[in-house]
Amino acid sequence: MPQEKSEPDQLQFWSFVDYAVARTAQEIPELDPLAMRLVLTLHRAVNMLVYDLESSVHRPRGWSWPGFRVLFVIWLTGPVEAKQVAELSGMSRAAVSALVNTLERDGLVAKARSPHDGRAVNLTLTDQGRGAIVETFRAHNTREQEWVGSLSREEQTTLTELLGKLIADSTRFDARHRA
Amino acid sequence: MPQEKSEPDQLQFWSFVDYAVARTAQEIPELDPLAMRLVLTLHRAVNMLVYDLESSVHRPRGWSWPGFRVLFVIWLTGPVEAKQVAELSGMSRAAVSALVNTLERDGLVAKARSPHDGRAVNLTLTDQGRGAIVETFRAHNTREQEWVGSLSREEQTTLTELLGKLIADSTRFDARHRA
DNA sequence: GGAATGTAATCAAAGCTTTGATTAACTTGA
DNA sequence: TCAAGTTAATCAAAGCTTTGATTACATTCC
């Protein structure tokens, strides 16, 4: 991935990682450039991917990526409490609460008080929500296939496994599960 | 990564990917489960990583991750126009504009009109900003090392290369460079 | 029973992000 | 010269996110 030019004036988005790693390693010698490069690349890859999926699939349909994630979880888990949607989607309960308001306003999700717990809210998709998510998920997956198409099936598997390994013992950090 | 339980009631954050892939492949047969699993895992990995870095390194110092990104670019590229900061950081110009206002208010960044172009703004770090970013970057990289420590150096390199390959021809999509 | 504790959801404030409009300044070319 | 077009930055509106209250309901245990 090294590029031929490294002068600030010539910097482009795609050459910035190389430049940043080289310069930073020089300024802060005790740093681990491999870790730095991995995290920078990982972050950029995901942001490009998410930006592309959101702008090519979700926004044209009037949805947001976070809204899609909530809808997706509700679709998969049937009538479900907001609390569990937050857990599975990796969002805070406040975020789910706000998103569900928008989705309810748009007629995609229905709220109902839980019969067993007066505090809890049960979430289900409306017919409109159910229809919309299947169509959207197809388009979403088609776009995903285009993205991962630059890797062989074996490379895709390797990449998924390495990512799995990366997060596997992330419980070392008391990290809340955000994703 | 398969888990023993797949019933909705038993679902946890870390078993959700398996459950989601299995259920969705069943509902929408023409879908590519490998692509779906890769994108889901990638997204989760990054969100956990970013959330952890932000909450363990940046927020305790009164910074945000986006603010850090802007500061980092300015640190590396010296006096630089806002336009280029947006390009290199992968943010919109409006986002950079808003972030720079916050960073200026906090005494980390200084704005000056460009001598060559009356429209442009030149950005530099204040002494305080320069000192702060070095200390913060050290802590940031230390945490990065802890994260990638679950992978061997060779695995780290492989992962970085595969991610590089993934985004390499992403210019196929007219994707704006977001990262 | 009833007080103390715990939990679900929501609200509030602050920050970041987006798109699209606006303002100001530079550049081009008749 | 000066009008037309382009570009840099900012503004405005809308949405999402966070943390830290607040409200309402449940549970525990004296």
Residues B62-106 have pLDDT tens digits of 899 999 999 999 999 978 999 999 999 989 899 999 999 999 999
Any residues with CB less than 8 A from the CB of A14 and at least 6 apart, and which?
A: A3, B177
Tens digits of residue pLDDT in A44-85: 999 999 999 999 999 999 899 999 999 999 999 979 999 999
**Contact with chain B for residue A2, Cβ under 8 A:** no
Nucleotides of C under 7 A from a protein CB: 6-12, 15-21, 24-27
In chain B the domains, ranked by start, together with CATH numbers, are: 6-61 (no CATH), 62-169 (1.10.10.10)
A44 touches strand C (CB under 7 A): no
**Contact with chain A for residue B26, Cβ under 8 A:** no
Cβ under 8 Å to A: B residues 3-22:
8, 11-14, 16, 19-20
B-chain CB neighbours of A90 within 8 Å are 13, 44, 47-48
Low-confidence residues in chain B, pLDDT < 70:
1-11, 14, 171-179
Q: What pLDDT is attached to residue A155?
A: 96
Query: Which of A153, A164, A172 is nearest residue B1 as measured by Cβ atoms?
Result: A164
Quick check: B74 and B80 in contact, CB under 8 A? Answer: yes
CA distance B84 to B80: 7
A64 touches strand D (CB under 7 A): yes
Contact between B35 and A138 using a beta-carbon 8 Å cutoff: no
The alpha carbon of residue B107 is apart from the nearest alpha carbon of chain A, in Å, by 22
B82 touches strand D (CB under 7 A): yes
B-chain CB neighbours of A13 within 8 Å are 87-88, 90, 177, 179
CA dihedral B98, B99, B101, B102 (to 10 degrees): 130
B-chain CB neighbours of A173 within 8 Å are 52, 56, 146-147
B-chain CB neighbours of A158 within 8 Å are 158, 162
Q: What pLDDT is attached to residue A30?
A: 92
The alpha carbon of residue A82 is apart from the nearest alpha carbon of chain B, in Å, by 13
CA distance A88 to A106: 22
Q: What pLDDT is attached to residue A13?
A: 72
CA-based end-to-end distance of chain B:
28
Q: What pLDDT is attached to residue B3?
A: 37
Q: What pLDDT is attached to residue B171?
A: 62
Low-confidence residues in chain A, pLDDT < 70:
1-11, 14, 171-179
Among chain B residues, CA nearest to A81: B9
CA distance B98 to B160: 31
The alpha carbon of residue A101 is apart from the nearest alpha carbon of chain B, in Å, by 23
Amino acid found at B126: T
A-chain CB neighbours of B157 within 8 Å are 34
**Contact with chain B for residue A26, Cβ under 8 A:** no
pTM of structure:
0.87
